[in-house]
């Protein structure tokens, strides 16, 4: 697999997108959205920003399939960590 | 890929004997760093889990405690870290295309921005120290004892739950800062060898791999900033 060199234009675009994302997340935090919407908006922006960093700054978009598997495995194990823990806490209120 | 290119790479002084060629060495290095980053994700994951759990248990106390953090410094630090990720990406790019001057400048900028982040973090920690917000008795002679009025503590919210937020705040930002300090150290080593001219378009993997680590630390902060600084602002933070 030959190496892909990400053009500077892409890095600059991602950098600007991350800065805009930071501004939006601060502005959104001061709005009083109904229910749990505040945390959903904040986490959605954070996940989008993290995805941009992983795909472009960390070159995963252009990396070997094996790297994709490794990254996915991390998310999978995180999901297990959260799902099993909270299935316990949410179903046993007396704890 | 031309045959001559392969032969050229095989004779590169940076090629370790247990690899067929530089490309294989490069892929192995990148893969190794990613496996390490998975363990790092799980390490920070445990703390994110603790945060989620205690926030769901004490939502009001967490909002009150979070509103006392300095949102301006937090936001500035987020921008500083994103900018440092950009300069790190540019360091990798400059190495890949063989621009040594740009490579050295990018590395220096990344180190300076990393140190700026740590400096701002130190200012924040000092403010927390002055407000007696260092949890437990971590600070000899200055135990956790904030002024309830300054914290805008509402009736029914326990100070010990506010303290729980600060345990998690210091654990997470402290571990993050430790990763930053290690990152600055790694970057300094990179800079040293970069000035000596060790890295080239054929051999740039160390720059790339340490870049991966640096971006990972940036990602941790991308989550820490909204979770720690912004969670209670919509309820009327000051």
Categorize the per-residue pLDDT at B73 as very low, low, confident or very high, splitting at 50, 70 and 90. Answer: very high
At residue B182, what are phi and psi to the nearest 5 degrees?
Answer: -60, -40
Mean pLDDT of chain B: 92
Asked if residue B173 is part of any domain, the answer here is yes
* Residues A59, A74 within the same domain: no
Report the pLDDT value the prediction gives residue B9, as an integer from 0 to 100: 47
Domain of B91: which CATH number?
Answer: 1.20.120.80
- A2 pLDDT band, cuts 50/70/90, is low
For residues A74 and A35, state if they share a domain: no
Question: Smallest Cβ distance to A26: which of B49, B86, B230?
Answer: B230
**Domain contains B87:** yes
Q: Which of A29, A36, A52, A76 best tests the B interface by mutation, with the highest count of B CBs <10 A? A: A29
Q: Which chain B residue lies closest to A18 (C-alpha atoms)?
A: B82
Residues from chain A that touch B38, judged by Cβ atoms under 8 A, are 70-71, 73-74, 77
> Are A33 and A43 contained in the same domain?
yes
* Burial state string for B194-229 with b = 16 or more CB within 10 A and e = fewer than 16: beeeebeebbbbbbbbbbbbbbbbbbbbbbbbbbbb
Higher pLDDT, B183 or A92: B183
Regarding whether A84 and A52 lie in a shared domain, the answer is: no
Looking at every residue in chain A, the average pLDDT score rounds to 92
- Enter the ipTM: 0.94
Do residue A43 and residue A87 come from a single domain?
no
- pLDDT at residue A1 is higher than 50: no
- Which one of A5, A64, A81 has the shortest CB-CB distance to B93? A5
Whether chain A has a CB inside 8 Å of the CB on B2: the answer is no
DSSP string, A16-74: HHHHHHHHHHHHHHTS--STTHHHHHHHHHHHHHHHHIIIIIT-GGGS-HHHHHHHHHH
Whether residue B76 lies inside any domain: the answer is yes
Q: Positive or negative CA dihedral for B226, B228, B230, B231?
A: positive
pLDDT band at A93 (very low <50, low <70, confident <90, very high): confident
Total domains in the fold of chain A: 2
Residues A82, A50, single domain; the answer is no
pLDDT for A38-71, tens place per residue?
999 999 999 999 999 999 999 999 998 999 999 9
pLDDT at B212 over 80: yes
Is it the case that residue B6 has pLDDT exceeding 70? no
The answer to whether B97 contacts A64, with C-beta atoms less than 8 Å apart, is no
Tell me, yes or no, whether A51 and A70 share the same domain: no
CA B173 from chain centre, in angstroms, equals 9
Task: Pick the residue of B226, B227, B232, B236 with the most A CBs within 10 A to test the interface with A by mutation.
Answer: B226
- Say whether pLDDT at B56 is over 70: yes
Number of domains in chain B: 1
Separation CA A66–CA B32 (nearest Å): 11
- Give residue A26's domain range: 1-63
Same domain, yes or no, for A48 and A93?
Answer: no
Chain A residues with beta carbon closer than 8 angstroms to that of B46: 81
Interval B13-36 mean pLDDT: 91
From A7-16, B28-37, B81-90, B139-148, the region with the lowest mean pLDDT: B139-148
In a domain, B125, yes or no: yes
> Is A95 found in the same domain as A59?
no
Which pLDDT belongs to residue B234?
87
Q: Residue B109 is part of which domain span?
A: 25-235
Single pTM value for the model: 0.92
Is residue B4, in this structure, part of any structural domain at all? no
A47 & A69 share domain: no
Residue B212 with chain A: CB contacts under 8 Å: 58
- pLDDT of A29 > 70? The answer is yes
**A25 and A59 both lie in a single domain:** yes
């Amino acid at each position: 697999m030959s190496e892909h060199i990400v053009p500077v234009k892409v890095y600059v675009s991602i950098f600007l997108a991350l800065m805009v994302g930071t501004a939006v997340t601060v502005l959104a935090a001061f709005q009083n959205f109904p229910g749990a919407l505040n945390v959903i908006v904040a986490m959605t922006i954070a996940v989008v920003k993290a995805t941009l960093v992983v795909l472009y700054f960390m070159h995963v978009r252009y990396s070997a399939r094996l790297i994709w598997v490794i990254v996915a495995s991390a998310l999978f194990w995180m999901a297990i960590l959260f799902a099993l823990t909270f299935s316990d806490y949410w179903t046993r209120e007396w704890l | 890929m031309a045959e001559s290119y392969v032969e050229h790479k095989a004779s590169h002084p940076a090629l370790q004997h247990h690899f067929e060629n530089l490309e294989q060495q490069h892929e192995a290095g990148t893969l190794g760093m990613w496996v390490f980053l998975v363990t790092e994700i799980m390490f920070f994951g445990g703390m994110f889990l603790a945060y989620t759990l205690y926030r769901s248990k004490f939502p009001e106390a967490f909002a009150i405690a979070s509103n006392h953090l300095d949102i301006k410094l937090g936001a500035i630090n987020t921008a500083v870290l994103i900018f440092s990720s950009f300069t790190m990406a540019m360091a990798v790019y400059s190495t890949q295309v063989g621009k040594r001057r740009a490579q050295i400048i990018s590395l220096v900028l990344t180190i300076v921005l990393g140190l700026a982040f740590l400096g701002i973090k130190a200012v924040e920690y000092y403010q927390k120290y002055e407000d007696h917000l260092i949890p437990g008795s971590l600070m000899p002679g200055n135990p956790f004892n904030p002024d309830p009025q300054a914290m805008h503590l509402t009736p029914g919210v326990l100070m010990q739950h506010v303290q729980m937020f600060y345990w998690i705040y210091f654990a997470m930002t402290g571990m993050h800062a430790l990763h930053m300090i290690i990152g600055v150290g790694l970057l300094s080593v990179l800079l040293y060898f970069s000035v000596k001219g060790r890295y080239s378009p054929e051999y740039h993997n160390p720059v790339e791999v340490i870049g991966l680590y640096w971006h990972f630390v940036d990602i941790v902060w991308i989550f820490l900033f909204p979770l720690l600084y912004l969670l209670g602002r919509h309820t009327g933070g000051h």
